[in-house]
Amino acid sequence: MALAIASTIRQRLERHRPRSLAGRLILAAAVWAAIGLAVGGYVLSGTFVEAMRDNFDTQLQVDLDGLIAAAEPDAHGAITLRERLLNRRFARAYSGLYWQIEPSDGMPVMISHSLLDQTLHVADIEKKQGVSWGYAVGPLDQRLRVLERRVSFPVTATKDPKDFKAYTFIVSGDMASVEASIADFNHIIFWSFTALFFGLVGAVFLQVRIGLQPLRKVEASLARIRSGAAQRLEGNFPAEIAPLAAELNSLIEHSAEVVGRARTHVANLAHFLKTPLTVLVTESEAHPGPLAESVKRQVGVMRRQVDHYLSRARAAGAVNALGNRTQVSPVLEDLARVLTRIHAERGIKIVVNCPETLYFRGERQDLEEMAGNLMDNACKWAKGLVAVEAERLEGRVFRLSVEDDGPGLAPEDRNRVMSRGERLDESVPGSGLGLSIVRDIAKLYGGGLSLEKARLGGLQTSLTLPALG
């Protein structure tokens, strides 16, 4: 049962524990500071209370000794007091300091002037070191601390050495001043320790903020790397953070090396495959016939597949590389100029609308391949106008839209084109895999491709890709 309760408490603490490292450090320091100050305040207050009460009791002891010393017995055991030996507060009415002498033979009780016509009734008697301590209610309903001692005086008039007369000497003092001093001290302790607590928490907060500043510097450096503004962690780091920065730089360099090696292998593979395919096409053209035509068709299919999967492999190798960023506007402008020249005989006009501050979080060649495929496809089907527009969306994404004023596609034909790159019209040159390649590369970057009816009347292709900032 106890283990189950402990497990439940631990789970609740884990659930409510701050996720921030700074929050955990500050919370732990605040808890321990609160516990330490509370214990210290309790001990200090208890020590002060004990000292005040001991001092008060000591003063009562002095006043009782003075009262007994001021008592002068006569031959019959009766006593008189020499007032000049007593504390002057005994002579002032309701001063808070009182004495009372009770004879053991039933004679009238002697009281101080401060009591006027009232007497003390002692309760809660406790004997300690030959005297009795207790409490009583004063003439003004004060709480009095009482000290009493029984003293016997000889009766010399009877000539009997065993004849004594006993008196109980009582001295009491008002504890209001002591309680007020204790309350004032506790008040000062409480507010002083509260101020000290917040001061300590503030100091810990500043210490944590300053101590974790190098980690924020690492975070900012990593953000610069992801945005392409830097290639490695830069700056001087403390001895505790320097190994982490060195390991991160090594990891970044290793990642870049692996990506570069993968690209080299992809390029080599492309060169290795395309050369034999070119030889096959050349040989088939040199020996025309049914077999040659079949070889040419199969080589065309192989080339399209090689281009398709090599594009995917190259994009997959670069998509997660740190530091990649490409300004979108120059890429679109360059593609527009090239495609305008290619389709100059048809008089195709390409209009580009893209903000200068838009950046693609990826490699330039991937953006060129995706945008180039879409724009080239639009130019092939357009009658005379292609509109290209890039705009920033909510979140870290942007949309690239390419429209043409061509015949467009029916809704049922769009899925056929997107799914397998099926060609619906052989009269226009191309492999038919352009949209499929664009879609696959976009997916690697976490984006997507959609086909819609364009405002110009033809087809609109919309590409969503990650943006920086």
Together in a domain, 175 and 27: yes
pLDDT over 90 at 39, yes or no? yes
Contact 262, 288 (CB under 8 A): no
- For residue 423, what pLDDT band results from cuts at 50, 70 and 90? very low
Is 70 a member of any domain?
yes
Residue 155 burial (CB count, 10 A): 19
Same domain, 296 and 333: no
One domain, residues 285 and 362? no
pLDDT of residue 311: 61
Share the mean pLDDT of the chain. Answer: 80
pLDDT tens digit string along 243-253? 877 888 788 77
pTM of this structure: 0.52
pLDDT, tens digit, 9 for 90 and up, residues 173-199 = 988 888 899 999 999 999 999 999 999
Between these two residues, 318 and 134, which has the higher pLDDT value?
Answer: 134
Same domain for 182 and 289:
no
Range of the domain at 278: 255-318
Same domain, 418 and 335: yes
Q: Cα angle vertex 430, ends 452, 445, to 5°? A: 55
* Phi, psi angle pair for 317, to nearest 5°: -75, -20
Is the pLDDT confidence value at 133 over 80? yes
**Quick one: pLDDT at residue 251?**
80
CA dist 249 and 263 (Å) reads: 21
Domain boundary among 279, 295, 318: 318
Tens-place pLDDT, residues 141-167:
888 999 988 888 887 777 777 778 888
Residues 6+ positions from 214 with CB-CB distance below 8 Å: 237, 238, 240, 241
Coil, strand or helix: which one is 421? coil
CA distance 226 to 348: 38
User: How do residues 101-128 score in pLDDT, each as one tens digit?
Assistant: 888 877 888 888 888 888 888 887 888 7
Total structural domains within the chain? 3
DSSP at 108: P
With bands split at pLDDT 50, 70 and 90, how would you rate the model's confidence at 430?
very low
Query: Does one domain contain both 266 and 369?
Result: no
Residue type, 151: V
